[in-house]
Structure 1
């Protein structure tokens, strides 16, 4: 997490990120009515390929303002559902093979899958848990389609609103705003709560399997 934050900060100050965003906005705006369609298609593919979409969301806000929000939500939700279905069907064996080699990861997946809707929403809200990767991993759990869809939409809203907000009003104002720090604080609380709840369930499952040792 520390390395990721340092990397993002370094990239922001050392690279012409603002110019890139504005160039993307000019390109998308030049497409006319096809601009939002092209942006939605790019966002859809990025979600499927487990590519971090925060830069895309910011770029979309620069290009389309608050109109980027419905495009992001629809594209990300559709891609998440497809990834969830793939994890449950076509890619199930591949995902399971990766997790089955690590007892702790397997127990974690089962803990989330067996958990109630509160734990699932906390995991989806956390900005420090790879959101797009969860789409595939949750496919092998017992999470129902309805719970997955609801938690996906709720989990995306805070981060999406924040990114659109920053893109619309500008980087300097966004970084110093109370809304920015409030969102990060709530995300951190959700992360800690998810870690605590999941760790308890993981411990219980590992103990039941005789695979848990130590604190």
Structure 2
């Protein structure tokens, strides 16, 4: 084999192995946190509180999710907790609250905090290059960024507000981008809601779901990164 080709292939191979190693470490950490912290008790307490509000439970959860989106709080744990409390009924609430919160953050960055957001982005050259490429690349490239698992979704809301992205394209990409992750999180939470005690089938199903999630995230990460890097190269040409 040509030494140049062999040396070019090695970094990609090592990068992929490194990514899987990080994913395995994250999975092990999640398992450790589950057993070291009273996560199950917290979920049950949250479920009891939310359901104790009766018909206003979903509304209260939607308001909580809306505020969390504005505060750039990761939505994954909250979505899973909501699914444990309400099952699949929480999905439209999450989508609506996240969309409204994302739009308000986008609006605030564009018209109220533009200079402050620009200053924060300037400190992160790689993130800045990605955002600028997406801002010039149309809604398809924007949707890829919204699907990206390595760019924090709620942080994107403010960053995209200082680009030339139009509001319609932003809202469409926001809904499409959050849909796959929301489905996975609600599915995992719904499993926890249906499970009783320490049933083996529950843990097997949950484990398979987590493994599948890690695999999908890795495949998505590689494809999205390649597309975004191509977009950045095109913007810099």
Task: Give the conservation status (yes or no) of the 8 Å contact 2:79–2:185.
Answer: yes
More helix by share: 2
Task: Give the conservation status (yes or no) of the 8 Å contact 1:122–1:190.
Answer: no
- In the alignment, does 2:57 pair up with 1:35? yes
TM-score by length of 1: 0.85
| Aligned residue among 79, 87, 108 for 1:57 | 79
| Aligned residue among 122, 128, 131 for 2:144 | 122
Judging changes above 3 Å, is the alpha-carbon distance between structure 1 residues 174 and 148 closer, same or farther for their aligned structure 2 residues?
farther
CA distance in 1, matches of 2:66, 2:204: 29
What does residue 152 of structure 1 align with?
Answer: 174
Name stretches of at least 5 consecutive residues in structure 2 with no aligned partner.
1-18, 193-201
How far residue 103 of structure 1 moved from its aligned partner, in angstroms, is 4.3
What does residue 48 of structure 1 align with?
Answer: 70
- Moved segments of 4+, more than 6 Å: none
Judging changes above 3 Å, is the alpha-carbon distance between structure 1 residues 71 and 103 closer, same or farther for their aligned structure 2 residues?
closer
- In the alignment, does 2:233 pair up with 1:197? no
Rg larger in structure? 2
Name stretches of at least 5 consecutive residues in structure 1 with no aligned partner.
209-215
CA distance in 1, matches of 2:216, 2:141: 15
Q: What value does the CA root-mean-square deviation take over the aligned residues?
A: 2.2
CA distance in 2, matches of 1:199, 1:37: 40
CA distance in 1, matches of 2:120, 2:135: 17
What does residue 122 of structure 2 align with?
Answer: 100
What does residue 176 of structure 1 align with?
Answer: 207
Helix, strand or coil at the partner of 1:33 = helix
TM-score by length of 2: 0.78
Judging changes above 3 Å, is the alpha-carbon distance between structure 1 residues 105 and 28 closer, same or farther for their aligned structure 2 residues?
closer
CA distances 1:168-200 after superposition (whole Å, capped 9, x unpaired): 1226244334x6544443333332222122223
Range 91-100 or range 182-191, more displaced = 182-191
What does 1:1-80 align with in structure 2 at a 5 Å threshold?
2=22, 5=27, 7-80=29-102
The count of residues paired between Structure 1 and Structure 2 equals 206
Task: Give the conservation status (yes or no) of the 8 Å contact 1:40–1:75.
Answer: yes
CA distance in 2, matches of 1:183, 1:10: 18
CA distance in 1, matches of 2:117, 2:27: 28
